[in-house]
Structure 1
Amino acid sequence: MRKILIPTDFSENANNAIEFAVNLFKYDISEFYIMHAYQDDIYVNESALTKANLADVKSEMRKKSQKELENTIREIENISPNPRHTFYPISANNLLIEEADIVVDDQNIDIIIMGTKGKTNDKKITFGSHTLQVLKYVQCPVLAIPENYKYTQPRHILFPTDYMIPYKRRELKLLCEMASPYRAVIDVLYISKIEKLSMRQLDNQKFIDEELCKNTVNFKVEKSKHIINTIYKYLKENHVDMLVMVNTRHSFLENILFQSTTIDELSLNLDIPFLALQNMKRKNI
């Protein structure tokens, strides 16, 4: 049973992420939790709020959220009817990141899938503020789908790593089971000026190979000190369908996510799905 959380603000980007998710897991028995956290919407026009009308505004927002979730699920089931899939609406007077944390823990979610941007859709950035917060702080794998990206079977996946991370079996299993129905090739890319691996790195490399055993795995080396540029070049030259990175302390991805200048640099103009695995302890694992 696959459990997928999909936050939505009912934008085109959010709907596109939902459509991608149901296609990606079309072979899996899956539960989809379609979540709308609407607290920000209550206070978007704060100058018009008073103590007298606040309760009414909250009630109206709750009803609107629930209705839009019902409509969204109805549209999904019409577009992509699949007896393996079950949909659950979650409407919450909460902040997106707070509610996502709650749902991830309560439902033991396997993966969050969301658009890289929401309603604001700033063309100058790769990740919107909500997506970036979820990538940084929610302890669950996150698959971010670019604006207007049309579903393509993931046949070629790039997984850059320095082999210094003690990977999680659960998350590598998720990647393996996402890729194997499509016979995807996974290129594990080591970017360094030094090709020789330490014993720790070799051990972690072996663990990756064992956990991704259902797939064709190619271990690649690029001699470079420019990680972002090397990843970007590899994506473009090798027709990659999905980028996978692991977020943990001192990892490639942590450096990217927590340094705003690097985020701008990463703007890779990332036009393929981006899967961030989270190498952090989950409460129910």
Structure 2
Amino acid sequence: MKKILIATDFSEDAWNAAHYAIEMHKDEDCVFYLLNTYTPTKVSGSFMAEALAGHSLESVIKSNSENGLKKVVGRIQKTLNYPNHSFKTISSFNLLVDEIKKIVNRENIDLIVTGAKGASGLEGVFLGSNTVHIIKCIKNCPVLAIPSHFRFTELSEIAFATDFNRFYTITELQPLLELVKTFKASIHIVHVQYKITELTEIQQFNMNMLCKYMEGIDHNIHTVTELRSVSNTLEAFAEELNIHLLAMLNYRHSLMDNLTKEPIVDRLVFHSNVPLLVLPELGMGASSASKKHSVIHFTD
């Protein structure tokens, strides 16, 4: 039974992320944990009016949170009623990331799902501030970020971005490999370089190990030149190859680590509408015949 945690603020972007996750796992036995966290730091006029009417501010916000979660479950049951799915709701007076950490550890969560739009809703932001915070702070569970308005489509083309500087264990890649096998997808290993150079011996070894893990899976290796920024390059790559999902491993000095440190003006919300799967670093626990290697040069 797969356990999936979906963070929601009751926005349409959050609903879209939940819709995607449910459709993505429609053929699997799953328990979905719907989480809404609240704090009294920002309250609307209606909350204040209810508080002045004799209810404590915290009780008013808690009630709205619980009722909001009930409405989400009702909406799911009307539009996405799969018999192999069950739902649990969690309304918590806590900071989002702190609560996610607790639930992941307590419930042994397999996947965290969140929308990719920032709280500000501004264009030109690669990931929302909450999503970036989740990716940086949650070290023991994959995170799936869904762009606004992107609806689930069968995953036939999946990309995995890497610089080949780190050895990946099969355990770390397991969530990605399971997706690839479930949807019988092709996987595109994409290596972004500022300037195309030959791989070092270590990089070559790590690349060969990746290919070994993917024996029996249709996979290709692409070396691409950087276009203004890593995020911009990956966006162009995803659009060029019609990628349905982009995956990365999150570790110190990784592409994902560098990506979240790029200047905010360079962080894109992925106008190509590609969901992002961030795999956690778990540590230690020959090329196949289908491997092809291409070099792509992007130009401004």
Which residue number corresponds to residue 23 of structure 1?
23
Q: Is the 8 A contact 2:189 2:219 kept in 1?
A: yes
SS in 1 for 2:56: helix
Identity %: 30
Which residue number corresponds to residue 113 of structure 2?
113
Do residues 12 (structure 1) and 12 (structure 2) align?
yes
TM-score when normalising by structure 1: 0.86
TM-score when normalising by structure 2: 0.82
What is the alpha-carbon distance in structure 1 between the residues aligned to residue 54 and residue 5 of structure 2? 29
Query: Structure 1's 223 and 117: CA in aligned 2 closer, same or farther, altered over 3 A?
Result: closer
- For residues 32-181 of structure 1, the aligned pairs below 5 Å read 32-39=32-39, 42-45=40-43, 56-117=56-117, 120-139=120-139, 140-181=141-182
Query: Structure 1's 125 and 266: CA in aligned 2 closer, same or farther, altered over 3 A?
Result: closer
What is the alpha-carbon distance in structure 1 between the residues aligned to residue 146 and residue 54 of structure 2? 35
What amino acid is aligned across from residue 127 of structure 2 in structure 1? Answer: F
SS in 2 for 1:233: helix
Which residue number corresponds to residue 249 of structure 1?
252
Per-residue CA distance 1:22-50 (angstroms, 9 max, x = gap): 111112111111100112xx22149969x
What is the alpha-carbon distance in structure 2 between the residues aligned to residue 227 and residue 123 of structure 1? 17
Of 201-210 and 15-24, deviating more is 201-210
Q: Is the 8 A contact 1:161 1:189 kept in 2?
A: yes
What is the alpha-carbon distance in structure 1 between the residues aligned to residue 253 and residue 185 of structure 2? 28
Do residues 240 (structure 1) and 238 (structure 2) align?
no
Q: Is the 8 A contact 2:118 2:127 kept in 1?
A: no
Q: Is the 8 A contact 2:119 2:130 kept in 1?
A: no
Per-residue CA distance 1:56-101 (angstroms, 9 max, x = gap): 1111221221121122112112211112212111110001011011
Which residue number corresponds to residue 205 of structure 1?
207
Q: Is the 8 A contact 1:191 1:221 kept in 2?
A: yes
Which residue number corresponds to residue 224 of structure 2?
222
Unmatched 5+ residue regions in structure 2? 286-300
Query: Structure 1's 63 and 225: CA in aligned 2 closer, same or farther, altered over 3 A?
Result: closer
Aligned-pair CA distance for 1:239: 1.2
SS in 2 for 1:163: coil
Per-residue CA distance 1:236-276 (angstroms, 9 max, x = gap): 221111111121111111111123x1x43231535211111
Aligned-pair CA distance for 1:155: 1.0
Aligned-pair CA distance for 1:181: 2.3
Do residues 185 (structure 1) and 186 (structure 2) align?
yes
Of 119-128 and 170-179, deviating more is 119-128
Unmatched 5+ residue regions in structure 1? none
Of 179-188 and 195-204, deviating more is 195-204
Q: Is the 8 A contact 2:249 2:279 kept in 1?
A: yes
What is the alpha-carbon distance in structure 2 between the residues aligned to residue 45 and residue 38 of structure 1? 10
What amino acid is aligned across from residue 43 of structure 1 in structure 2? Answer: T
What amino acid is aligned across from residue 253 of structure 2 in structure 1? Answer: H
What amino acid is aligned across from residue 150 of structure 1 in structure 2? Answer: R
Q: CA RMSD in A?
A: 2.8
